[in-house]
Amino acid sequence: MKKTFWIICTSVLFAGCSRPDPSLQAINDAADALGGQARVQQLKTLTIEGEGEAPNLGQNITPDAPLPVWKVTEFRRNIDLANLRTRVRQVRTAQFLFAGETTQKLDQGIDGDIGYNVGTDGMVTRTAVSVVRDRRLEILQHPIVLIRAALDGKAKTANLRKVNDTEQVDVTTESGELLTLTLDAATKIPLRAATMSDNPNLGDVLIETSFGDYETVAGLKMPKHLSTKIDKYPQFDLHVTRNIVDGDSADLDAPADVKNMSLPPAVAISVTAKEVGKGIWWLAGSGNHRSVVFEFADHLVLFEAPASEARTKAVIDMARSLRPEKPLTHVIVSHHHFDHSGGLRAAVAEGLTVITYRGNVDLFKELVARKHSIVPDALERNPKPLRIEPVDDESTLKDSALEVRLYHLEENPREGTNLFAYVPRDRMIIQADMYDSGWLQHPWGNNFAYNVALRRLNVRLDVPVHGEIQTYDEVLKTIASKKSSD
């Protein structure tokens, strides 16, 4: 009798020990719902073909307007599931006014720790480590890919919880990526996958992909609709036309040339200063984002905090070195586009008061208030309040040394919150995104002359944020010589 009792107890004990962790059980249930654990783990490659829309983040006409969209007419992603290699080829066409190539072909991949881009001319370049990480996270935001990675013995699952009619479980892959998978509590079908990431402008952001319209392919359920958001903004909406399992994966090898390349060096930032008028300096150097410094009787004012924290900090340092006896007190941020407001937080961290069009104020308040804990920037490390002076239609900065007039750019089909500057003494216009001498085309080029005439300006010289300094006559000739549809 005692022997029978201990056999029963031992059986119960081992049964209890063999019961999967609840979070792993959720993964097993999801795998079964998709076609079975064995089938998911047997899968070697996955190819996704389709079309969709890719909004252009941070480039809308006004902060509250819909994002301009790239229409993706050809999309093909090949994935090696065992090694998390991928290659994406797509053709996209701008559905908005654009000064560059309106139809673009992209060819990008990762092979192990190597990330690469292939140009239309066949030229291959290697990407930074951060790009490899982002692309790996991107392919993991697919139910089959994530479930397969979660079933790997070296992956970790944790924190199973119920949220309304769903279950959520955290997955840490073998290589350390952390994602949250959301399942339908009843069917166990994956609904969403999400991960936290850093965006230079938005700071800590949730990147989440929703799955829908499942179909069965070779015994596995696959989504035909994948919709990705970054924070509250749509990022990519893909409608799958074909899911292919265990197809050819030969082209997932990184090109031989890129394997011998070193990692790209950190971007070197240089700032040069050219005096373009008495007490006016054009700050150029590396890249194609320039700034301008205005010297008033007892202080300096900067036009544009562009591109990034690093660029803007270098620009501010240069501005202060020009007249160290005078404080730099203000920065004019021309408009809200992310490449022009990329240094906003750096300027606030440096104690500058922001001057901008009133339509940018709410967004700038939000950007300054956002958390940047994943990649802490200067403002995260040393918080300071935003001091902002909004401009409506026009404003004038003037003292005994200099007069600078600020105007809202009117009737521009691409720029709704843009300020440009005019210095009457030098007949000089300072502008961002109205015109760049290097643009391929000028679809809103006529708007430049329209605003000059509207404000009754007598312009002699264009001192731009993008491009090179030109006379106004040269500007008009360049616009006329290139395609313009406005």
Angle at 28 between CA 22 and CA 33, to 5 degrees: 125
Complete domains list, the chain, with CATH: 20-259 (2.50.20.10), 271-481 (3.60.15.10)
Q: What does the pLDDT profile of the chain (486 residues) look like in tens digits?
A: 444 444 444 444 444 455 669 999 999 999 999 999 999 999 999 999 999 999 999 999 999 999 999 999 999 999 999 888 999 999 999 999 999 999 999 999 999 999 999 999 999 999 999 999 999 999 999 999 999 999 999 999 999 999 999 999 999 999 999 999 999 999 999 999 999 999 999 999 999 999 999 999 999 999 999 999 999 999 999 999 999 999 877 688 898 889 889 988 888 899 999 999 999 999 999 999 999 999 999 999 999 999 999 999 999 999 999 999 999 999 999 999 999 999 999 999 999 999 999 999 999 999 999 999 999 999 999 999 999 999 999 999 999 999 999 999 999 999 999 999 999 999 999 999 999 999 999 999 999 999 999 999 999 999 999 999 999 999 999 999 986 544
Question: Is residue 419 within 8 Å of 388, Cβ to Cβ?
Answer: no
Question: Is residue 288 within 8 Å of 295, Cβ to Cβ?
Answer: no
Report the C-alpha gap between 251 and 404 in whole angstroms. 57
Question: Is residue 102 within 8 Å of 116, Cβ to Cβ?
Answer: no
Beta-strand (E) ranges in 231-307? 233-245, 271-277, 280-285, 291-295, 300-303
Distance of CA 68 to the CA centre of its chain: 14
Buried residues in 383-412 as b, exposed as e (16+ CB within 10 A): eeebebeebeeebebeeeebebbbbbbeeb
Tell me the two tokens of residue 476. Answer: 């008009």
- The closest alpha carbon to 436, from 411, 415, 406, 410, belongs to 415
What is the model's pTM?
0.93
